[in-house]
Amino acid sequence: MPIEYSSVLVRFGEIGIKSKQTRRRMTRMLADHIRSALDEKGVPYSAVRDEFSRIFVDTNEAIRAAEIAAGIFGVVSTSPVVVTSSSLHDILETAETLARANFRRGLSFAVGARRIGDHAYSSQELRNRLGERLLEGNPDLQLKVDLENPEQSIYVEVRDTTSHIFTETLKGVGGMPTGSQGKVVCTISTGLDSPIAAFKVIKRGAIPIFVYFDNSPHCDENCTELAIRQAQLLANYVYGHTVKMYIVPHWPDLEDAIRHGPEKMTCLFCKRNMMRIAREIALVEGADAIVTGEIIGEQASQTTANLRVIDEAVVDFPILRPLAGDDKVDIERIAQEIGTYTFAEAGLQCCDLAPKYPAVSSTVQKAIEGERTMDSSVLKSELEKARVLILRKK
């Protein structure tokens, strides 16, 4: 009989260990995001069903649907499945047909089985019977059993009166469904680190509001466009929520800091003002935190002493640094996986005002003293002139 993938098995991880009420809420949220993604990509489906510890998508484009669902936060993995009844006869017939369509001659294989409900056979018996069927019923394939390191596996998941059979599992992005946490203001630049910091908090369920600080007179002309493209790539992971991006003209306060403050503290004054503006945006947008891409010790402004100086500028919002303890090689790996690495490779110079000998161990008191002669009204003007882009609509 011909093989027809008619459904997608969607697995989630951490959601499954939450309380019953939280699990129900997050699973419903995840199912809604899957519907939104399929609608957006034009993939038809007849149902997205939430069954305990699993979500099933009924569709005649199961392979494409499995690929799309794997890219949604909260999804651990997906598999396009062939659906049949829970009778042992139907399972063996269907699984053998699927194996013959996917197994090449001479490969090693293993069988997996999982059951929910009451059946006349155990999971172990099902595995044994299917393994025997594939070996003895298909001598022309010359298959070999290898339970430790098989070249191919076939799985059966039986749920009451229905069985789902598959040979392929697509790795998902994991995390938690977007919207299971609140909004966060994500500062973003054209570099390597800040997009990955934003990615990590979005992966944990937060809704991003991107902020780019535009130093146009002192940077390459393509910096702003590159930052928008970074943010847009990350916004593509978000379903069911509007994603905004603020483009803030930042050079006036930066130039003010250079005129009035000690040159070696320029970067600290710059970042303190960035946090102040980010705080105002958080208040307007109802966000809960500010996210930056800083790594301990990666730059002069990112020593533990200087991070304290930056944090003091905003005392009523947490400043989250998801990359604080990461190594650069780990950040590069994630950037390559999600596609933001190519933006950083452009190597654009987005600020030419950094001092040659920056302060590496400043104090809050020095920062406060240095800011006394600066014009704080500049920050309000910058915020008023900010351009707001809608990267994604709900």
Q: Are residues 190 and 167 in the same domain?
A: no
Residue range(s) defining the domain that contains residue 126: 7-171
- Tell me, yes or no, whether 86 and 133 share the same domain: yes
Backbone angles phi, psi at 31, to 5 degrees: -60, -40
User: Please, are residues 296 and 307 in contact by the beta-carbon 8 Å criterion?
Assistant: yes
**Within a domain: residue 98?**
yes
Strands across the sheet containing 319-320: 319-320, 289-291, 183-187, 207-214, 243-249, 387-392
Q: What pLDDT is attached to residue 348?
A: 57
Same domain for 190 and 110:
no
How many Å apart are CA 10 and CA 68, to the nearest integer?
A: 11
Is there a domain that residue 176 lies in?
Answer: no
- Give 10-residue mean pLDDT values along the chain (394 residues): 87 89 93 96 96 92 97 97 96 95 93 94 96 93 93 95 96 96 94 94 98 81 88 95 94 69 84 94 98 94 94 96 95 92 66 75 91 84 93 91
Statement to judge: residues 167 and 131 lie in one domain = yes
Rounded-to-integer distance, Cα 202 and Cα 222, Å: 26
Residue 153 lies in a domain: yes
Residues 107, 108, 110, 111, CA torsion sign? positive
State the number of CA atoms in the 13 A half-sphere of 4 facing the CB. 8
Domain boundary among 109, 144, 171: 171
Residue 308 lies in a domain: yes
Amino acid at 390: I
What is the reported pLDDT for 323? 97
pLDDT of residue 346: 58
Measured distance CA(359)–CA(353) in Å, rounded: 14
How deeply is 278 buried, as exposed, middle or buried, from its count of CB atoms within 10 A (0-12, 13-18, 19+)? buried
Question: For position 2, what pLDDT does the model report?
Answer: 66
Token pair 């596609």: residue: 339
Residue 2 within any structural domain of the chain: no
Residues 165 and 191 in one domain: no
**Domain identity same for 273 and 385:** yes
User: Is 177 part of a structural domain of the chain?
Assistant: no
pLDDT for 353 equals 66
Q: Which amino acid is at 56?
A: F
Q: Does residue 178 sit within a domain?
A: no
Of 229, 216, 243, 314, residue with least CA distance to 274: 314
Q: Are residues 161 and 194 in the same domain?
A: no
Domain match, 163 and 267 both: no
Same-domain pairing of 241 and 111: no
* CA neighbor of 246 nearest in space, from 226, 267, 228: 228
- Rounded distance between C-alpha atoms, residue 239 and residue 243, angstroms: 9
**Do 222 and 331 share a domain, yes or no?**
yes
Give domain status of residue 212, yes or no.
yes
Is 187 found in the same domain as 130? no
Residue 217 pLDDT: 72
Strands 170-171 and 54-58: what pairing? unpaired
Q: Which residue has the tokens 């070249």?
A: 151
Q: Which residues contact 392 (CB under 8 A, 6 or more apart)?
A: 235, 236, 238, 241, 242, 243
State the total domains in the chain: 2
| 230-to-176, 339, 343 alpha-carbon distances in Å | 21, 9, 7
Q: Where are the alpha helices (DSSP H) in the chain?
A: 20-41, 62-69, 88-102, 123-136, 193-203, 223-235, 251-260, 266-285, 304-312, 328-338, 341-345, 364-371, 377-384
Q: How many residues does the chain have?
A: 394
On whether both 254 and 127 belong to a single domain, the answer is: no
Single out the residue of 249, 272, 269, 252 nearest to residue 355, CA to CA. Answer: 269
What CATH number has the domain bearing residue 236? 3.40.50.620
User: Domain boundary at 118, 151, 171, which?
Assistant: 171
Q: What is the CATH number of the domain that holds 109?
A: 3.30.2130.30
- Of 136, 171, 206, the domain-final residue: 171
The pLDDT value recorded for residue 347 is 57
Q: Which two tokens mark 31?
A: 């199912």
